Amino acid sequence: MTGELPLAKALNAGLRKALSDDPKVLLMGEDIGPLGGVFRVTEGLQAEFGERRVFDTPLAESGIIGTAIGLAFRGYRPVCEIQFDGFIFPGFDQITSQLAKMTSRHEGRVRMPVVIRVPYGGHIGAVEHHQESPEAYFAHTPGLRVVSPSTPNDAYWMIQEAIASNDPVMFFEPKSRYWNKGPVDFGASPSPLHSSRVVRTGTEVTLVGHGAMVTVLMQAAELAQHEGTSVEVIDLRSLSPIDYAPIIASVQKTGRLVVASEAPGSVSISAEIAATVTESAFYSLEAPVLRVSSFDTPFPPAKLETVYLPDADRILEAVDRALAY
Q: Is 130 an active-site residue?
A: yes
By CB neighbour count within 10 A (0-12 exposed, 13-18 middle, 19+ buried), where does 307 fall? exposed
d(CA 244, CA 105): 29
| DSSP states along 5-69 | EEHHHHHHHHHHHHHHH-TTEEEEETT-SSS--TT-TTTTHHHHH-TTTEEE--S-HHHHHHHHH
Q: What strands lie across the sheet with 145-147, from one edge to the other? A: 54-56, 25-29, 77-81, 115-120, 169-174, 145-147, 238-240
Catalytic residue among 123, 129, 130, 194: 130
Which residue in 189, 219, 237 sits closest to 316, CA to CA? 219
Dihedral sign of CA atoms 264, 270, 274, 275 in order: positive
Q: How far apart are CA 52 and CA 325, in angstroms?
A: 60
- Residues with active-site annotation: 130
